Structure 1
Amino acid sequence: MTSDSGSLSDSVTIVGAGMAGAACAQVLHHAGVPFRIVDRGRAPGGRMSSPELHGRRVDLGAGYFTVRDQEFTTVVADWESKGLARQWANTFGILKPETVPCTTTGPVRWATPAGLRSLVRNMVEGFEIQDSTELTDLPDGHVVVAMPDPQAARLTSVPDAVDYDAVIAVACGFDGLDIPFRDAAFVNDHPDIDFVVDDGARRADGAPVLVAHTTSERAQQHLDEPDGAIGSVLDALRELSVITTQPTWTHAHRWTFAKPAAQHDSNFALEQQDGRFVGLAGDQWCDSGVPRVESAWRSGTDVGRELILRLGN
């Protein structure tokens, strides 16, 4: 028996080819539910962006991922066995103006030899991704919108939509590096940057490349022209004694909706609208309270399973 809103043979459109959209696609694929993925990006991955800069991939979006969810642990183990992901570090530096650097220990952070985007590429391998640049309304049929709330709200209503902080990621290449931390560092009480990472350590290729993430306040001043943030970022890195020489190249990437400023108290939303199901997913749908790569995977997986359940009833 099927519901008034469709059946398992009805096609689903997934809007967004980031981690949440990819996870939803995998669930539908394994259940034999027809679907299509649409995305406005030039490549899958969303905020797990790893463009090629000066001959190598550089992670400009999410800095790493952690593993807490038991089911996600199995997924990560498969990535590890394929050489797509590796355990990276559990201790990061802490930098603060006019303060001696120190360290903090936390969960194991995972990184990827080919950039974080490679994980999403692996998940959607064999799936066609259509361009959604011209999409201004929800497409026909069942839909899962897997993107930040401000973007999702352009297509459909989002209950209790959460705001997002902006970030500009600045990558810098050098002839060599001698930095006061290992792997990465959180930056406290600085107006311009709040995270800096040794991308060569993260990627395990030793490349002298740093990636710094601006504070939201600094990013807001340069959303129209991201390159305008580069000077402030370099000044901050000098002030914190991270660098003493000029980089050989720089690259700035704007993230208008980089990270949720809050989160929903459920892992997804799924409602009937005009005789079809409309779902919402993403890292902001996170009842554990801490949005991250893992929560995006959990959200996409859970909304896919719930959609299958409702289509089958």
Structure 2
Amino acid sequence: MAVVVVGAGIAGLACARELVDGGVPARVLERDARVGGRLASERIGGRWVDTGAAYLTADDPSFLGRLQTWRIDGLARPWTDTLRGQAGPPATRWAAPGGLNSLAADLARGLEVTLGVDVTSLPAADAVVLAMPGPQARAIADLPLTREQSWSPVVTAILTYGERSWSDFAGTFVNDHPILATVCDDGDRRGDRAPVLVAHSTSSFAVGRSDPGPLMAKAVSEILDVGDPVSVETRYWPYASPRPGHGGFARDGDVYLCGDAFGRPRVQTAWLSGRLAARAILQRTVR
């Protein structure tokens, strides 16, 4: 049996890793030049900055075990259990010294991953896993399982300052704000105290914005009482925030759909979804 996984985000990589570990060959096809999807990090100003997901959390034992392995390997570390404005009890947020993308790169190690491939139709295989948001999967195969998800966009703003002029904080939820959803101190998150803040917009603000950076920088300055940044860079994520779903993954014949829309929208959900899809395929091989 041969499987093709389309999408090298955390769900696709977790799926392929589970398949290969279970003895089923799996190829991963990814249209971007790097693995990771929204587990994205970039070199900006000579250092890694997380430009996609802000952090990882875990309440599933298997994903917590994965995080602990990354911790032992020096790839991840507990960052903070409290963000300003958070509701509910403390929860440990994990960060990565080399950027969250380094965790995706670790998952991809040893897998057959082909980058720069724009898949426009279902590949020939015994099973195909579409590890991506439903709207993107629909462009490959217009199946019922691809039409049931609802996604919202987010803009990430990377704000670099001349110096650290704010009081120490890890991050904050900016509740009920028209522009900002969260602001993270990337120097604290990375552990190097660089004067860099990373802000994530609300979904409503992200819709149709042609130049969101200045407005986001102004909003950050107002809530944190800081001056103007030296530079502002933005990244637009059209499918950043799914409406929480259920079921772990979806299947239509030999086509599977997985990702972080199958539960609470976070990295753990995507990882678990990919593994569940892989296990469903593995069960077919032992019948």
The reply to whether residue 267 of structure 1 matches residue 248 of structure 2 is yes
Q: When the two structures are aligned, how many residues end up with a matched partner?
A: 284
**1:15 offset after TM fit, Å?**
0.5
Q: TM-score, normalising length from structure 2?
A: 0.94
The reply to whether residue 154 of structure 1 matches residue 139 of structure 2 is yes
Contact 2:166/2:225 (CA < 8 Å) preserved in 1?
yes
* 1:168-187 pair list within 5 angstroms: 168-180=155-167, 182-187=169-174
CA distance in 2 between partners of 1:60 and 1:254 (Å) = 10
Q: TM-score, normalising length from structure 1?
A: 0.87
Q: Residue 77 of structure 2 corresponds to which residue in structure 1?
A: 86
Q: For residue 250 of structure 2, what is the amino acid of its counterpart?
A: A
Unmatched tracts of structure 1, length 5 or more = 1-9, 95-101
Instruction: Tell me how large the CA RMSD over aligned residues is.
Output: 1.6
* 1:1-313 pair list within 5 angstroms: 10-94=1-85, 105-131=89-115, 133-141=117-125, 142-156=127-141, 157-159=143-145, 161-180=148-167, 182-222=169-209, 225=210, 228-244=211-227, 246-260=228-242, 262-272=243-253, 277-286=254-263, 290-313=264-287
**1:197 offset after TM fit, Å?**
0.4
Cα offsets for 1:85-143 (capped at 9, x unmatched): 1111011113xxxxxxx997521111110111111100011223224543211111110
* Deviant stretches of 4+, over 4 Å: 102-105
Q: For residue 130 of structure 2, what is the amino acid of its counterpart?
A: V
Paired residue secondary structure (1:240): helix
Contact 2:30/2:118 (CA < 8 Å) preserved in 1?
no
CA distance in 2 between partners of 1:44 and 1:206 (Å) = 27
Contact 1:88/1:110 (CA < 8 Å) preserved in 2?
yes
CA distance in 2 between partners of 1:144 and 1:41 (Å) = 17
Unmatched tracts of structure 2, length 5 or more = none
CA distance in 1 between partners of 2:144 and 2:42 (Å) = 31
Paired residue secondary structure (2:248): coil
CA distance in 1 between partners of 2:248 and 2:116 (Å) = 25
Aligned pair in 2 of structure 1 residues 123, 235: CA closer, same or farther (>3 Å)?
A: same
Cα offsets for 1:154-177 (capped at 9, x unmatched): 122143521111011000111212
Aligned pair in 2 of structure 1 residues 206, 104: CA closer, same or farther (>3 Å)?
A: farther
Contact 1:91/1:104 (CA < 8 Å) preserved in 2?
no
CA distance in 1 between partners of 2:87 and 2:27 (Å) = 45
CA distance in 2 between partners of 1:131 and 1:203 (Å) = 27
CA distance in 2 between partners of 1:119 and 1:165 (Å) = 25
